[in-house]
Amino acid sequence: MVEPLVVRPQGLYCPAGDFYIDPRGRVERALVTHAHSDHARPGHANYLVSETCLPLLKLRLGQEITAEGLPYGEIRRIGGAQVSFHPAGHILGSAQVRVEVGGRVWVVSGDYKPQPDRSCEAFELVKCDVFVSECTFGLPVYQWKEEGIIHQEINQWWSENALAGRPSLLFAYSLGKAQRVLRGLDPSIGPVFAHGAVHPFLPVYESSGVKFPKVQKPREGDGDWAGAMIVAPPAVEDAGWTRRFKGAQRGFASGWMAVRGARRRRNLDRGFVLSDHADWAGLLGVIEGTGAEEIKLTHGDGEPLARYLGERGIQASMLGGAPLRTEEE
Amino acid sequence: MQGFSELFHDLDEMTKTGDRLARMVEYFRAARPEDAGWAAWFLAGNRIKGAVRTGELRQWAAHRVSLPLWLLEESYERVGDLAETLALLVRGNQEAVPMSLSQVVEDGLLSLVSADPVEKQEILLGMWDRLRPMDLLPFHKLLTGGFRIGVSRGNLCKALAEVGGTDPAVIAQRISGEWDPRTRAFGQIVGEEGPDDAWCRPFPFCLASPLQEEPDTLGDPANWWAEWKWDGIRCQFLNEEKGAMLWTRGDESVGESFPELLGMAPHLPPGLAMDGEILAWGPEGLRSFSRLQKRLGRKQPGPSVLKKEPVRFMAYDLMRVDGEDLRTIAFGERRKKLEHLFEQLPAGFPLQLSPRVDACTWEELSRKREESRDRGVEGLMLKRADSIYSSGRVKGDWYKWKVDPFVADMVVVGAQLGHGKRANLYSDYTLAVLDDTGELVTVAKAYSGLSDQELKEVDRYIRKNVTGKFGPVRSVRPGLVFEVAFEGARASGRHKSGVALRFPRIQRWRKDKEPKEVDSLENLLGYARMGEPKQGDGPRTDDAGNLLLF
């Protein structure tokens, strides 16, 4: 039996269609699951992404790239392969890639979460023979609460800080997490600001129907930031940029915040457990739901999940040669 | 756990002592007395022993959430905290009716102690059903015994004192030693101060000024009393019929760490307050300060620690005896009374009188001072013979005549943001010297002793030269050379460099120096060898352990 996808140094490759999924290096044709930089890399000749991912990809990689957007669910024939994109529920435009060759079906999940997220398309379960699953949070200690509860926690924290006359500085990755956080903010508490890295993506989200409160860019220099909410990417955590927000309480929205040590190591006042990845129960539910006979795990430490699935009679292993990643979560 | 779990999570997240203090006050004011009593008991560092073996606990928890034990262990490895791992796995009951802390302690913890394993499992399963998700972390912390959330005993005492309108010193006495919240009501802990409570409060310490001029400016040496400046923990030893206490200058009550000293109480007259220094002191004599650290923060040390790391109290002043306040009489008189007290003590006790360093002239005294490093002391104390025991620092009464600090040039290899006024400025530095292979090796952390202008300049350099990130610490490309002063060095197995410095502080920025010009590790190790008290060269004692005068 010929498998639709094989592992090459650049990433997952489809011999029948001569394309890669989320490759590194420089390739002729790249199918990209979503616009995070550890999946969407520059330098490829042709990109194929989901239709809603396209404007985000161009913001990230430049308007001049050769890229095409495919509506979710539409089947595209590439060489001997049939390809389609299906919502992954990770961020706006994120997709699982279904590849069928000679009746055999692989689904490459990219990053995904089955939990509801009102800032992006809902995850779609796709049946397949082989499921390539991420497993960023592949331990049972990771169990997410509903996003509504986390939004309440964030607003509660913000209003307490506002009452105390303090700014709230909330770190969240600039694409995806920041927009998810902004959407849930209650603008009656105070003014909302976001770092410049967050702004370009907002119109794309808005054109997909996501509504934000009024989001301003922080002015240079000193000002009165008491009661303000400032959303910024964690990359500026220590930069001079944050210095103007004197007396700010610092929070971070990430699945990693489920464990106290992660919050403490970063010297944060508050961690919000808000993740764009599947939690343990989400991983198990999706993996079983796909009906796949074989599971290939990517991203980091999947050994415990693979062993656990094996004990439950599901063949699972780490995908060899999977690109190493810097986790955007 | 209602109220208490919220307190736990808030304290755990707070980073400032003042915030924690205010939060505790809020809790103690609102809590029912029976819950507040247990909360105070746990925050004071007490634990319920023998509730459950962690091996059984892990098994039962894994079984409860239908996970293989190996997966719980994998999770524990990732989380790094057993109580937290269990809390994350078990999850609790969203709809549970909140239980009070005292109810949880009695039903869920105390009843475990006497139960057999089958009953224990049943009790735990019951608790996991009855607790809210937010109760689980504090519950498992109480269950597994490790309850550390950044609340010092001193801060707890301040909170309880504020609640009851009494003195933190009185609280410290009330919560020291063994007590049971079921028999000692919370009201008794925080209750108003009675006439019998005052004894346990330390006097404000009499402090010395650094001697900044030549000693002969002090006049006739006959009017002065010289002693070694001991390198230990300065403490007031209070004794009353109801008990004894040891108070540090930082308002910490440390008696429980030094039972052999408190054990002297029955041999001392009641109504006593002495000033002195706790020192590490083995059969060979004085030991370095680092040995004392093995005793600090360790409540109720076991017999082997007591044997291996013995201590002594070196007394040098007497503020009260038989309830009579002596602070306004002359030092010379107080000293005579102290000597009289020691004459009546049987030999072999871990209490000693700090000896006088005799000298007829300042010159002679100055020569004796040169012996300080070899003796393992920090220099000399000069006390005017007619000085009273004043509150705080009164210039002209007591002087510390320390040996000059060591100085070395070091290069900044790491930095961390400061606090308070220096928040958002890189003002805490990790400093390195060169080892014999020419590699930089970290030897100290120090806060900036730089001017505001320099601080800003250094901050700019650091932001442009960050090479890595380890938690809150940034590694920095070597380029900043500082002159660092320190009081001493000691060999240390815990530090990669093999040396630990005492009180390192930055004296100035050596813009004229390159990183390759910094001091060598070999130099610092040499200082460490100098700082150790020399065998047989420290204060000498006779066979009974009494001090022989110099």
Give the CATH number for residue A165. Answer: 3.40.50
Report the share of chain B in percent with pLDDT over 90: 49
Report the share of chain A in percent with pLDDT over 90: 84
> In chain A, count of helices (H) and strands (E)?
7, 19
Closest CA to B523 of B449, B441, B415: B441
Closest CA to B90 of B54, B45, B50, B125: B125
Mean pLDDT of A128-148: 95
pLDDT at A241: 86
Collect all residues of chain A within an 8 Å Cβ-Cβ radius of residue B81.
260-261
pLDDT tens profile B504-540: 889 889 888 888 889 988 888 877 776 555 543 444 4
For residue A253, give the 3-state DSSP assignment: strand
- B/e letters for B316-355, b = 16+ CB within 10 Å, e = fewer, are bbbbbbeeeebbebebeebbeebeebbeeeeeebbbbbbb
Task: Please give the torsion angle defined by the CA atoms of residues A273, A276, A277 and A283, in that order, rounded to the nearest 10 degrees.
Answer: 90
Half-sphere exposure of B362 (CA within 13 A, CB side): 12
Shortest distance between the Cα of B505 and any Cα of chain A, in A, equals: 24
Residue B545 reports pLDDT greater than 50: no
CB contact under 8 A, A261 and B466: no
Report the C-alpha gap between B51 and B143 in whole angstroms.
7
pLDDT at B154: 84
pLDDT at B242: 79
Shortest distance between the Cα of B472 and any Cα of chain A, in A, equals: 6
- Shared domain for A201 and A248, answered yes or no, is yes
Cβ contact A27:A45 at 8 Å: yes
Report the C-alpha gap between A262 and A256 in whole angstroms.
6
Burial of B495 (0-12, 13-18, 19+ CB in 10 A): middle
User: Which residue among A141, A240, A308 places its CB closest to the CB of B78?
Assistant: A141
Q: Report CA B357 to chain centroid distance, whole Å.
A: 30
pLDDT at B59: 96
Residue A1 belongs to a domain: no
Collect all residues of chain A within an 8 Å Cβ-Cβ radius of residue B474.
238
Please report the beta strands in B177-256, taking only residues with DSSP state E, as ranges in sequence order: 206-207, 209-210, 224-228, 233-240, 243-248
pLDDT at B549: 37
* Average pLDDT, rounded, for chain A: 92
Q: Which of A79-83, B153-157, B388-392 has the highest mean predicted lDDT (pLDDT)?
A: A79-83
Residue A322 reports pLDDT greater than 70: no
pLDDT tens profile A236-275: 887 778 888 988 999 999 999 999 888 877 778 899 999 9
Half-sphere exposure of A169 (CA within 13 A, CB side): 21
Q: Report CA B383 to chain centroid distance, whole Å.
A: 27
Order of strands, edge to edge, in the sheet holding A46-50? A6-8, A11-14, A19-21, A29-31, A46-50, A67-70
pLDDT tens profile A40-49: 999 999 999 9
Q: Which residues of A touch B (CB under 8 A)?
A: 139-143, 238-240, 242-243, 246, 258-261, 265-267, 269-270, 304, 307-308, 311
B64 band by pLDDT with thresholds 50, 70 and 90: very high
Report the C-alpha gap between B186 and B23 in whole angstroms.
18
What is the domain count for chain A? 2
pLDDT at B543: 44
Residue length of chain B? 550
pLDDT tens profile B419-431: 666 666 788 899 9
Q: What CATH class is the domain B4-144?
A: mainly alpha
Residue A302 belongs to a domain: yes
pLDDT at B537: 40
Report the C-alpha gap between B512 and B409 in whole angstroms.
11
| Structure token digits, residue A35 | 């616009």
For residue B92, give the 3-state DSSP assignment: coil
pLDDT tens profile B432-462: 999 888 889 999 888 867 888 888 889 889 9
pLDDT tens profile B81-106: 899 999 999 988 889 999 999 999 99
More confident residue, B84 or B499: B84
Collect all residues of chain A within an 8 Å Cβ-Cβ radius of residue B67.
140
User: Which residue among B65, B88, B469 places its CB closest to the CB of A258?
Assistant: B88
The neighbour count for residue A23, using CB atoms within 10 Å, is 24
pLDDT at B423: 63
- Shared domain for A174 and A236, answered yes or no, is yes
CATH number of B406-531: 2.40.50.140
CB contact under 8 A, A259 and B417: no
B8 band by pLDDT with thresholds 50, 70 and 90: very high
Mean pLDDT of B334-360: 91
Q: At what angle do helices B17-30 and B153-164 cross, to 10 degrees?
A: 40
pLDDT tens profile B269-316: 989 999 999 999 998 899 988 788 888 877 788 899 999 999 999 999
How many angstroms separate the Cα of B210 from the Cα of each of B398, B400, B456?
9, 5, 30
- Shared domain for A253 and A302, answered yes or no, is no
- Shared domain for A19 and A133, answered yes or no, is yes
Burial of A46 (0-12, 13-18, 19+ CB in 10 A): middle
- Shared domain for A236 and A154, answered yes or no, is yes
For residue A82, give the 3-state DSSP assignment: strand
- Shared domain for A251 and A201, answered yes or no, is yes
Residue A163 belongs to a domain: yes
Collect all residues of chain A within an 8 Å Cβ-Cβ radius of residue B13.
269-270
How many angstroms separate the Cα of B50 from the Cα of each of A42, A102, B141, B392, B550?
60, 64, 14, 46, 52
pLDDT at A222: 65
pTM flag (> 0.80): no
- Shared domain for A116 and A151, answered yes or no, is no
How many angstroms separate the Cα of A125 from the Cα of each of A101, A266, A288, B21?
20, 36, 10, 51
Report the share of chain A in percent with pLDDT over 70: 96
User: Which residue among B70, B79, B417 places its CB closest to the CB of A259?
Assistant: B79
How many angstroms separate the Cα of A258 from the Cα of each of A176, A194, A253, B315?
19, 24, 10, 52
Report the alpha-carbon angle B400-B449-B499, nearest 5: 75
Q: Which CATH architecture has domain B206-402?
A: 2-Layer Sandwich (3.30)
User: Which residue among A258, A265, A269 places its CB closest to the CB of B13?
Assistant: A269
pLDDT at B364: 92
pLDDT at A321: 45
Terminal-residue alpha carbon distance, chain B: 60
- Shared domain for A17 and A135, answered yes or no, is yes
Nearest residue on chain B to A138, judged by CA atoms? Answer: B75
More confident residue, B183 or A184: A184
Nearest residue on chain A to B459, judged by CA atoms? Answer: A240
Residue A93 belongs to a domain: yes
Mean pLDDT of B219-233: 93
Burial of B76 (0-12, 13-18, 19+ CB in 10 A): buried
Collect all residues of chain B within an 8 Å Cβ-Cβ radius of residue A258.
88
Closest CA to B175 of B44, B298, B294, B85: B44
How many angstroms separate the Cα of B270 from the Cα of each of A197, B176, B185, B237, B238?
70, 19, 27, 11, 9
B473 band by pLDDT with thresholds 50, 70 and 90: confident
B353 band by pLDDT with thresholds 50, 70 and 90: very high
pLDDT tens profile B118-150: 999 999 999 999 999 999 999 999 998 867 777
Report the alpha-carbon angle A161-A164-A165, nearest 5: 90
Strand partners, B244: B239
- Kindly list the domain boundaries of chain B, sorted by start residue: 4-144, 206-402, 406-531
pLDDT at B490: 78
- Shared domain for A247 and A305, answered yes or no, is no
- Shared domain for A131 and A11, answered yes or no, is yes
How many angstroms separate the Cα of A1 from the Cα of each of A5, A103, A105, A292, B217?
12, 10, 12, 16, 100
**Which amino acid, B25?**
V
DSSP letter at B200? Answer: G
Cβ contact B541:B285 at 8 Å: yes
Report the C-alpha gap between B220 and B361 in whole angstroms.
8
Report the C-alpha gap between A62 and A43 in whole angstroms.
11
Mean pLDDT of A102-112: 96
CATH (domain of A12): 3.60.15.10
| Structure token digits, residue A248 | 């700010």
CB contact under 8 A, A140 and B89: yes
- Number of residue pairs across A and B with CB atoms under 8 Å? 61
pLDDT at B522: 86
Question: Does the complex come out with an ipTM higher than 0.85?
Answer: yes
Mean pLDDT of A106-123: 96
A52: containing domain? 6-141+277-318
Residue A161 belongs to a domain: yes
Among A15-29, A171-185, B107-121, B280-294, whose mean pLDDT is lowest? B280-294
- Shared domain for A195 and A75, answered yes or no, is no
Report the C-alpha gap between A20 and A7 in whole angstroms.
9
Mean pLDDT of B328-350: 91
- Shared domain for A236 and A266, answered yes or no, is yes
Cβ contact B127:B111 at 8 Å: no
pLDDT at B68: 97
Residue A109 reports pLDDT greater than 80: yes
